[in-house]
Structure 1
Amino acid sequence: MTETNIETLIRDLVTPLLKHPAALTISQEDGGRYHQYIVNVAQEDVGRLIGRQGHVAAALRTVVEGARSRRSNSKKVRLLINDHRH
């Protein structure tokens, strides 16, 4: 089985949801237990990406986590959406 490129998967899942897909950036940080992907979008697209009560964000996280390698030493994947509040 081939290794899934998580960043490409995130980009393919998120882009159709956005009104301003050119503003999409994805950065990766490797923490102790996680491969952390931070998704930045235009401020007016944040709500579309999170969804009502976080349903869209939860679905994205489920798909991304399900696509990671199942090797015993593989780190978990964490997907963060920058909501421009900080």
Structure 2
Amino acid sequence: MTDFKALINTIVVPLVEHPEAIRIEENETDRFYEFQLYVDPKDVGRVIGKQGHVAQAIRTIVYSVRVQGSKRVRLIINDGTK
């Protein structure tokens, strides 16, 4: 399987001011490979972008990677406060 954590990290690191605060957690369900992206609360706006355009672009790239089987990839962006 593709290393989605490395892909997400490669996309997000140049966007944020606090790359050391990036954390990606992986969870697999029966329908999805789910990735939770946590960033510093000050960087959330940079990752989401105006009207969510940056977040949508990140998701488009991540979702375009082919996954074998019937599972799909899901990316959830959190603000790091949890």
Q: CA 1:9–1:84 in structure 2 vs 1: closer, same or farther (change >3 Å)? A: closer
Q: Report the equivalent of 1:9.
A: 7
Q: Report the equivalent of 2:71.
A: 75
Q: Offset of 1:85 from its aligned partner?
A: 7.4
Q: Report the equivalent of 2:47.
A: 49
Q: Report the equivalent of 1:64.
A: 62
Q: Offset of 1:4 from its aligned partner?
A: 2.3
Q: Which amino acid aligns with 2:77?
A: I
Alpha carbons 1:6, 1:68 under 8 Å: kept: no
Q: Offset of 1:51 from its aligned partner?
A: 0.4
Cα deviation, 1:38-85, whole Å, max 9, x if unaligned, reads 00010000000000010000010010011132x3x2410000001357
Cα deviation, 1:18-57, whole Å, max 9, x if unaligned, reads 0000000000011121100000010000000000010000
Secondary structure of the corresponding residue to residue 67 of structure 1: coil
TM-score normalised to the size of structure 1?
0.87
CA RMSD of aligned residues (A): 1.6
Q: Which runs of 4+ in 1 moved over 2 A?
A: 83-86
Bigger-Rg structure (1/2) = 1
TM-score normalised to the size of structure 2?
0.90
Secondary structure of the corresponding residue to residue 77 of structure 1: strand
Q: Please give the alpha-carbon distance, in whole angstroms, between the structure 1 residues aligned to 2:76 and 2:38.
A: 9
Unaligned runs of 5+ in 2: none
Q: Please give the alpha-carbon distance, in whole angstroms, between the structure 2 residues aligned to 1:54 and 1:33.
A: 25
Unaligned runs of 5+ in 1: none
Alpha carbons 2:32, 2:74 under 8 Å: kept: yes
Taking only the aligned residue pairs, the percentage that are identical comes to 44
